[in-house]
A = this chain, B = another copy of it.
């Protein structure tokens, strides 16, 4: 993963060598290693020093380098910790299925991150390299973020502000180290342990985990059967029953369902939020991935401070450029900033500078256009294959953007068993269960179309079809019995 320097490479070879020697054995001399690996003495000494640091070998001046006597392996029983720590509160299990890295020859439709081909790789590398050579490699940026980057984020939402709205300014923006951190800070700052948070169901599994980590009770409201967000009456009831002050939602191309709110529904739901003295946490995660019509964040129309807006660059710029923004107003913004400062002081200036350069360069909008073309082709190809090869009504909808299709499996299929059976055939997908705050009302899976190798979509969908049909039902059943 890291570009290995020669010292790292030689250290790896030496580790193998050491693993085959007994404690106290002498390593070959620097000169011998130089000859063996054709490296410079400085590089070899560097490699040996790495092994010394790791405790594998020790240098005795004048005598040479020796394999260290093994430390007694600590096989301690940490049972006392179990008593000290008490019951488990939260769960990072979602990371297992959406962030796992995979071996070769696997069809990876499980991830939440677009493959390199969809990223502005050269622009990111150039921007990071330029930032590296600048003062931003050393300076501490302000806690709320680089002013120019704050202005860029504010400007993006301001562009979508219509008359009567309230365009945010740079002083409403907080730069965050990624969208997940933004959600964690918002939940911790705007609610307190034991309180409730209302969420669309299904919803982003990372948001569910962050809310639980903050000690909140997640109150699910089901998606409206019309596909247009949630029913305002159901939302009203949820607020009244739970006394929640937070409603977390993705009005544009929700993850995982791909559904979007209509403008009129958005107004209705925002009215419910306002009349309950609550906050709408608007997660605009798909901002850069919406294919049709410009994105109009609800934040752009929010003059009353009820919308707290989150927007991340990690998925569209680079996983290494962990930069997101929160737009909030009034005391809520202060609370969120306090949480973030206490959690991490500020966000690396080199990442902020690089992010700003990438998104404000003339090439950015051209990149987005190209990426949208690719995503559209990938979405249409996968949706077509699902319609053609899987049972009728498996595809819940063709989303206006995003990175995923949300599939409903036939009645009687266990989605976990289905996912496991597909994995045995080297097709990775995300089980629907992880995306529901409570019991799933059916068997769903999320299939991501932004991963590597879209040429294998057909192969992947055929595997799903096989698992479902014929050997499939048996396969899913057997997996259920075995698991």
Contact = CB atoms under 8 A, between A and B. Distances in A.
Interface of A: 1-3, 5, 7-8, 42, 45-46, 49-50, 52-55, 71-72, 74, 76, 78, 80-86, 88-92, 95, 99, 101, 113, 116, 119, 121, 124-126, 128-143, 146, 148, 151-152, 154-156, 158-159, 161, 165-167, 170, 177-178, 180-181, 184, 188, 190, 192-193, 206, 209-210, 213, 215, 245, 277-279, 303-305, 318-322, 329-332, 335, 337-339, 341-351, 353-354, 356-357, 360-362
Contacts of A52: 155, 159
Contacts of A357: 5
Nearest to A178: B344
A116 to B, nearest CB: 6
B135 A2 contact: yes
B178 A137 contact: no
A113 to B, nearest CB: 6
Given A74-B303, A343-B343, A138 B121 contact: yes
Output the residue of A46, A131, A193, A361 with the most chain B CB within 10 A: A131
Nearest to A319: B140
Contacts of A345: 95, 99, 178, 180, 206
A83 B329 CA distance: 15
A124 B138 contact: yes
Closest 3 CB pairs of A and B: A78-B330, A53-B155, A128-B132
A100 to B, nearest CB: 10
Given A3-B136, A178-B344, 18 more contacts: A3-B134, A5-B357, A50-B360, A52-B159, A53-B156, A55-B154, A71-B166, A74-B166, A74-B303, A82-B331, A85-B190, A99-B143, A119-B138, A128-B350, A177-B344, A206-B345, A319-B349, A322-B348
Contact of A2 (B85, B116, B134): B134
Given A74-B329, A277-B83, A138 B116 contact: yes
Contacts of A167: 55, 71
Given A342-B213, A348-B351, A46 B360 contact: yes
A158 B55 contact: yes
A61 to B, nearest CB: 16
Nearest to A322: B348
A1 B332 contact: no
Contact of A206 (B85, B141, B342): B342
A50 B360 CA distance: 7
Contact of A54 (B71, B139, B151, B277): B151
A172 B271 CA distance: 50
Contact of A125 (B76, B132, B318): B132
A353 B5 CA distance: 11
A183 to B, nearest CB: 9
Given A54-B151, A303-B76, A320 B125 contact: no
Contacts of A181: 343-344
A350 B184 CA distance: 23
Contacts of A146: 1-2
A120 B18 CA distance: 33
Given A129-B129, A342-B92, A138 B360 contact: no
A49 B361 CA distance: 10
A159 B55 contact: yes
A178 B135 CA distance: 20
Contact of A95 (B143, B178, B278): B143
A475 to B, nearest CB: 30
A78 B320 contact: no
A76 B128 contact: no
A304 B76 contact: yes
